[in-house]
Amino acid sequence: MKKRKTKKTKKRLKLIFKIFCLLIALGIALFASAILYIKMSPRLEIKSANAFLMYDKEEELFFQGSGSQEWVSLENISQNVIDATINTEDKHFYEHFGFDPLRILKALYINIISGKTKQGASTITQQYAKNLFLDFDKTWERKLNEMWLTLKLEVGYSKAEILEGYLNTINYGHGMYGIQNASHFYFDKDAKDLTLAEATMLVGIPKSPSNYSPLVNYDIAKKRQVNILYGLYKNKKITEEEYNQAVEEPLNIVGEKNYQDLSTIMYYQDAVMRELRELKEIPDSYLETGGIRIYTNLDQNAQKILEDSVKKNLTTEKDLQVASIMMDPKTGKIIALVGGKDYSVSQYNRAYQSKRQVGSAMKPLLYYAALENGFTSSTTFTSEETTFTFSNNKTYSPQNYGGQYGNKPISLATAISYSDNIYAVKTHMFLGEDTLVDISRRLGITSQLDAVPSLPLGTASINMIEMVQAYAAFANEGTKVEGHFISKVEDLRGNILYEKKISNNTILNKSLTFILSDLLTTTYDSTFIDYNYPTAIGIAPKMKHKLALKSGTTDTDHWSIGYNPEIVTAVWIGYDDNTFLGANDYKYSRNIWVEAMEGYLEGKENTWYKQPNNVVGVLVNPITGKPATENDEKKRIMYYVRGTEPTATDPVFDEILENTKVAS
């Protein structure tokens, strides 16, 4: 029996061994076939591969991505940089064929033992392959493409050429790709002239540019530099004396003078790259055909005005964040974007990656729908504490900000001026809860919207680009446009790969958008000062142009969105962790908004919308909405579709509202 078991065991072991040998042979054959195929294929043009050249609306180059702005040969790069890079990133660079098996096994062991991804195993060739890709999605397809490109690099190029390409494309932070650009930015010198101390400071940055840049946190960057120097000393690349001298050497980082100028424009560049990835017209092969030119809608003057307004207003609020977009409402071109206060600190782009509660910025959508359903600027509901009762005795008791109620009928114009929540919910319930969802979808909002009583008060979380597109339809007199960053994409030979076609789709009534736009000027109009104040009255002295404006306020978010025929601007402020806003925090979005709008419009004609032929202006008491009499101290011209002008006997809608009761 034992002999039979022994024989069976030996047969199994032989079979396993044969299978193992067969797999190894198959692997070798596949590897050899891959190498042969690569050798027969054209070489990658690494000096232009993935060269993302971005141009602004004036076709001025403002950014060049992984294909560096100035390619320098290995002979013109300091040996200090070369030694520190290899010793830090890939000690066996000259010994492996693109992959380091021992390093991979070590990383797997450490990560399994710790239960976390503590150590990577990418070689310099693999990292260079990543630099030649458009995105860094962690998918199996992405990883396989990276492995294939790594092999193509190793087969097609010498180690010196690979190292040269790597050093010319790596990200050294603050938009600086390539060692020559980084050398000029941080130390105002050529890469060949970098000292050991300067070189090791730069070599430490690519692992995490947002953390190891000396302009972000010098102390953390210094610790990493010292670790890199110690590694060189430990591996006998430098002497103890050189180590000590480099550690003690004071560094004169001149990039500080350029630092502020680069703090937010990278957000725009990221948004461009995101849109580029979504364009089906761009073939995958462009990665291997010499790069692309991207013609964007960036208006550098508008971008600077927006950035300056952010910096001026958010100087001391360390954790308070901001996002803003400026769009041309006629075309949908996004001409400026701020995705956060400082890109070097946080690359999270709040302008397109986040969704936040929009508060009362949702109300203009509701009120346009109300105008479509027979409301006018003078339609009245009573502003008073109200509890809404529904089926199964469920109740909803919205509150006005600051507990301000007129306890009397107020016009739609007044409700917008004060951002009266009671009026908004009464309108919402009167029209039906699906109405606001329907108009939002028509305006291009795709975020989750629930048909609930609180929807007009902005309890839904919506992306900023969606909100700007919706307001752009109002600004464009009812014609919907699609927000976009890219106007055209070409390869480096000038062949057009993609060109944006502006599609205009009229979805709203021009007469009603004219009326709504005028209603949104009440938010800063002193004529409406009565038992309450217009929500934006504080910035009225800063306004030199006629502008439509609505703010949105929740415990954690504050929005200001407004427009004229030339520009739509949205500003959001809040905390990433949803910390409640302080009493003084709410002012920032309005101030940033008005300064950006007025800065952009400075020197431009004060344009407004032409009054449609079927719209008439009537002098009314702005609070009651009734035709003005000699006894009225406050009077304002409001606009109406001909035939819907107010009379002194118009009813208050409360008289016909159902399912509503006044709170005791």
Place of tokens 């462009």: 286
Place of tokens 């079979």: 15
Nearest to 436, CA basis, from 369, 376, 373, 508: 369
CA 177/CA 557 separation, integer angstroms: 35
How many other CB atoms are found less than 10 A from the CB of residue 622? 27
Tokens of 648: 């002194």
Across 436-451, b (16+ Cβ under 10 Å) vs e yields bbebbebbbbeeebee
Q: 316 phi and psi, to 5 degrees?
A: -110, -15
Catalytic residue among 78, 89, 263, 589: 89
> At 455, is the secondary structure helix, strand, or coil?
helix
Contact (CB, 8 A) for 615 and 517: no
Is beta strand 52-55 parallel, antiparallel or unpaired with respect to 292-296? Answer: parallel
Place of tokens 């404006």: 549
Across 577-601, b (16+ Cβ under 10 Å) vs e yields eeeebeeebbebbbbbbbbbbbebb
Task: Please name the amino acid found at residue 274.
Answer: R
Catalytic residue among 78, 354, 360, 417: 360
CA 381/CA 363 separation, integer angstroms: 15
DSSP-assigned letter for residue 9: H
Hey, CA dihedral for 241, 242, 244, 248, is it positive or negative? positive
Type and span of the H or E element at 430: helix 421-431
Is beta strand 380-383 parallel, antiparallel or unpaired with respect to 408-411? Answer: antiparallel
Give CA torsion, residues 534, 538, 543, 548, to 10 deg. Answer: -30
Nearest to 65, CA basis, from 186, 170, 179: 170
Q: 322 phi and psi, to 5 degrees?
A: -145, 150
Q: In sequence order, what are the beta bridge partners of 654?
A: none
DSSP-assigned letter for residue 332: -
Tokens of 608: 């407004």
CA 92/CA 100 separation, integer angstroms: 7
DSSP-assigned letter for residue 361: G
Tell me, yes or no, if 360 is annotated catalytic: yes
CA atoms within 13 A on the CB side of 589: 35
Contact (CB, 8 A) for 519 and 412: yes
Contact (CB, 8 A) for 414 and 455: no
CA 354/CA 100 separation, integer angstroms: 39
Nearest to 298, CA basis, from 342, 268, 257: 268
Tell me, yes or no, if 433 is annotated catalytic: no
CA atoms within 13 A on the CB side of 127: 22
Query: Cα separations (Å) of 222 from 86, 463, 493, 513, 543?
Result: 19, 39, 43, 58, 47
CA 39/CA 36 separation, integer angstroms: 5
Which residues are annotated as catalytic?
Answer: 89, 360
